[in-house]
Amino acid sequence: MAPSRTRLLGVLILLTGLLTTAGARPATALPDDLWFDRPAGATLTVENGRFTDGLGREVVLRGYNVSGETKLAENKGLPFASVADAKKSATALRALGGGNTVRFLLSWAYAEPVRGQVDATYLAAATGQMRAFLDAGIRVYPDFHQDLYSRHLFDPDSWYTGDGAPKWAVDAGDYPDEYCGICPFWGQNITQNEAVKQASYDFWHNEHGLQEAFLTTAQKTMAYVERNLTDDQFAGVIGFDPYNEPHAGTYDSGQTSRKWEKNVLWPFYEKFRARMDAAGWQDKPAFVEPNLFWNANIDFQKQEGGLLDAGKLGPDYVFNTHFYDQKAISGIFMPGKAGDGQYATDFGTVRDRAAAGGTAGIISEFGHPLAGTVSDKAPTVLKAMYQALDSRVPGASWWSRPAQSGPVLSGSQWQWDIYNGRHRELMNGNPDKVLTSGDAWNDEDLSAVRLDDSGKAVLRQDARLLDRVYPSATAGSTVAFTYEDRSRDGSTTLTWNPVPDSLPRVKQLVGSGQYALHVWRSDGGSAPTELHLPASFPNSSTTVVSDLGTTAAPPSYTKTTPVAVANEPGGTGSRRLLLTAAGSGTHYALVTNGATAPSAELLSAARTELANWVATKVS
């Protein structure tokens, strides 16, 4: 810890009282834990620019935002109406959505409804809902969410609303009546609504002590969470996202977006980092976001940024950004649909920026509307985004240059809201504007899940797209990874990464099925490499071809079984492929559901082809 942080930490501990309670529970193992799961889950850190677990394995975080419900008033700023609903959502997220991580939204307005008074009832409810995900084997990183600064800036009859700051924070400023003019998209309020701009400016300049009040509430919130989870549960809380989609509001005279990041935003993150330390989160990184327009894909929206002047972020911080295809969402700038490699460059920029900062990267929000005039693009846009998370190489060239594939990028899709289409939200408190459809917030409709009439969680998107093979933990480092999900756009099967004709037996084995190929360099540890297995890979139709062995219908895991399957921790029925390599070296594993009872001759021939391909293209 830097000397300046040490001194500030001491001051904060002396000056700030932390909430305490006797509600912590004794530690218990998760259902389906294997011998390596508890030490692996004991911590998650940033090491050498990667997320690593307690066994030093490279970790990929995949999941969803839970949830936009927090932005609404109907459940008082909580993601769920009850812990029971949180448990239902967590089980479905793991079993149907294939997620191992959630970005868990919190509300400043409900955490501190009266200035200087943190609402322990709200914190207890939020922590209880968080616990439901941790007990399902899902890692959590909380986020104090805001959009357009605060709902309390907006009139009851406004076209738009916001979330974030409490009413007293808005009352402290003398802001003009909100007005956005001709704004077909809610995000235009960020740069066109004077009330939003001035309130944001005041926060960043600590006018009326607003920023200091927020930091104090954040510290008390983090202290409460730390004290009210068991050690095992708290280990699953992997960091904190301090502020959603930061923007200056208004720049000072002569100030640029880059200078604002350097002189205003980064000092705020350093203060937040010190608050994390004071709250007992010393070993967990801050998931820090740059100016939200730094990677906009419409030129007139783009602003220079990306924390370029923050130096080496190192293990105390994660480079955390969002990406939405504004061209596709506009309905104007991208008339067609997304295709193979559409976002390889955009996501490659995120990888490069994280690497330059000496830390791990994550895209904590990405998605596309599932209703409205541009919803027809969603199947291809989301497929292209997941493809770009998996690899920085388009499918058409992946097999010819896998060594350029790079590390798998972590990401959290927006969003996972089981109440989609079943809300009852009084927009800006107006009883004459009761919102029930979609996400019930500014006409958004992006949730991947909903409840059916029986109360069961069901997917709103193609399961082949969402429930994916990905390397959740690699005993060493990833060299190359790809997944062909064969997801659908209507009745069309999208195949962007076919097995090339130069590997005829591999191509025969895969057929028209889904497949993933993982190439990694082992570190010689005894814990296995883990790949999440979607529900579309039942054991009877799962085939693995690896230098570690070949198998159709892999056996159950034992320490001496190099290729095996097991349930993922948490008792949700989700499954994983476990690959145990003896010693160090380069390894590969192809997993596919394309063949039924393949012959030993086909498995052997496919293995020979893959071994030669690895020797030629990777080693």
What's the pLDDT tens digit per position in 168-210?
999 999 999 999 999 999 999 999 999 999 999 999 999 999 9
Confidence label for 424 from pLDDT (cuts 50, 70 and 90): very high
pLDDT at 26: 57
Parallel, antiparallel or unpaired: strands 101-106 and 62-66 = parallel
Confidence label for 25 from pLDDT (cuts 50, 70 and 90): low
Q: Check pLDDT > 60 for residue 22.
A: no
Both structure tokens of 369: 């509307």
Q: Check pLDDT > 70 for residue 404.
A: yes
Kindly report the CATH number that applies to the domain delimited by 44-467: 3.20.20.80
Residue 295's nearest CA partner among 352, 339, 337, 250 is 352
Under 8 Å between Cβ of 318 and 288: yes
pTM over 0.85: yes
Q: Check pLDDT > 80 for residue 11.
A: no
Q: Check pLDDT > 60 for residue 4.
A: no
Parallel, antiparallel or unpaired: strands 471-474 and 58-59 = antiparallel
Residue 384's nearest CA partner among 370, 366, 399, 400 is 366
Residue 261's nearest CA partner among 304, 307, 216, 320 is 307
Where in the chain are the domains? 44-467, 473-618
Confidence label for 419 from pLDDT (cuts 50, 70 and 90): very high
Both structure tokens of 223: 């202290």
Confidence label for 3 from pLDDT (cuts 50, 70 and 90): very low
pLDDT at 27: 59
Bridge partners, 46 (sequence order): 51
- How many angstroms separate the CA atoms of 111 and 483, rounded? 41
Residue 178's nearest CA partner among 164, 203, 160 is 160
pLDDT at 583: 84
Determine the average pLDDT of the residues in 4-28.
46
Q: According to DSSP H, which parts of 483-565 are helical? A: 504-510
Under 8 Å between Cβ of 482 and 470: no
Q: Check pLDDT > 80 for residue 7.
A: no
Determine the average pLDDT of the residues in 259-266.
98
Which residues have C-beta within 8 Å of that of residue 307, sequence separation ≥ 6?
261, 265, 266, 288, 290, 313, 319, 353, 357
Q: Check pLDDT > 70 for residue 15.
A: no
pLDDT at 130: 98
Mean pLDDT of the chain: 95
pLDDT at 16: 42
Which residues have C-beta within 8 Å of that of residue 145, sequence separation ≥ 6?
70, 71, 105, 106, 107, 163, 164, 244
Q: Check pLDDT > 60 for residue 1.
A: no
- How many angstroms separate the CA atoms of 443 and 445, rounded? 7
Q: Check pLDDT > 80 for residue 24.
A: no
**Residue 168 backbone dihedrals phi, psi, to 5 degrees:** -65, -30
* HEC readout, 109-178: HHHCCECCECCHHHHHHHHHHHHHHHCCCCEEEEEECCECCCHHHCCCCCCCCCECCCHHHHHCCCCCCC
- How many angstroms separate the CA atoms of 400 and 484, rounded? 16
134-144 b/e (C-beta count within 10 Å ≥ 16 → b): bbbbbbbbbbb
Q: Check pLDDT > 50 for residue 17.
A: no
pLDDT at 28: 73
Instruction: Give kind and range of the element (H or E) at residue 464.
Output: helix 463-466
Q: Tell me the pLDDT tens digit for each residue of 214-251.
A: 999 999 999 999 999 999 999 999 999 999 999 999 99
Confidence label for 619 from pLDDT (cuts 50, 70 and 90): confident
